[in-house]
Amino acid sequence: MTPSSSTTPSAAPGAGAAAAARDERTLMVPVAGLELRVSVRPALGFPPAASSAPDRPPLLLCNGIGAPIEMWTPFRDPLGRPTIAFDAPGVGESSVPLIPPTMGGVARAVLGVLDHLGVPTVDVLGVSWGGALAQELAHRGGDRVRRLVLCATMAGGAPVPGDPRVLAILATPLRYWSPSYLDRVAPKLYGPDVAGNPEMMAHQRRARFTRAPSSRGYVWQMLALRRFASVLWLHRLRQPTLVLTGGSDPIVPVANGRILASRIPDARLEVVEGGHLFLLTHAAAMADRINDFLDSPAGPPSGQTKSR
């Protein structure tokens, strides 16, 4: 996969999405005794000269707990840049580890996927559980991770918990197995941006119920956080970092974003409109914001907070 440089996407959104679906490459990658399902999408709508410059590495997407590759579609379509997504161990079509992995072990497996693909450098975006993995990848990957985007997530070892009633729903994968249960809990988990949007709910059902996580895989993902204490080393991260948090997220309160931005030296916090799935419900605006950050000539000013 060849990194490409930054310009503003010029293709029409519908044409870009269709081209992405046609050109997306999905493969099973053997790594660390597992088989991980991986999806690679090329850049769309950028001029030919942009395809060979070294300053636009692919964006590695790390998903939330239980979520398969297909959950990214509403965000990937307007993003335009080259992306790599994967089913975490125990999720979708990826195999389930025999014993619960640590977050460090999952990060090593993902770095092995990049080795397999021949990708030397990436930008990394993580949402929720995937935000913890993204922190681990930045820590372990060093210069291999150029920039970091943390969405709706928290620092390991210093979490500010959300609504206990909402967290109880997350304790099981039932929302990935039962359409009626998803309909019942979506308003509490994701708010009206998802539950009140028939098109978004239809996407959620397709993505969740086509490739639901196994019960063991889901529990293994939860247990991967058992020794995750990024608060102890976030101050060592050198990647320019954008921290995005939803102003009405009942799962990950805004205070968690403030902690992350205060601990990472070159980080900026932005409080954005929406709940836990703001990347999907406000996909076009978030894609523009993230592209601007990843393509900017310098990292964001440290310690700044902005509300949108």
Q: Which of the residues are catalytic?
A: 128
Whole-angstrom distance, CA of residue 113 vs CA of residue 14 = 30
Using alpha carbons, select from 70, 65, 59 the residue that is nearest to residue 125: 59
Q: 3-class DSSP state for residue 40?
A: strand
Whole-angstrom distance, CA of residue 129 vs CA of residue 127 = 6
Query: Which of the 8 DSSP states describes residue 70?
Result: G
H/E element, 166: helix 164-170
Q: Rounded to 5 degrees, what are φ and ψ at 212?
A: -75, 150
Query: Which of the 8 DSSP states describes residue 275?
Result: S
Whole-angstrom distance, CA of residue 223 vs CA of residue 216 = 10
Using alpha carbons, select from 108, 93, 125, 89 the residue that is nearest to residue 219: 89
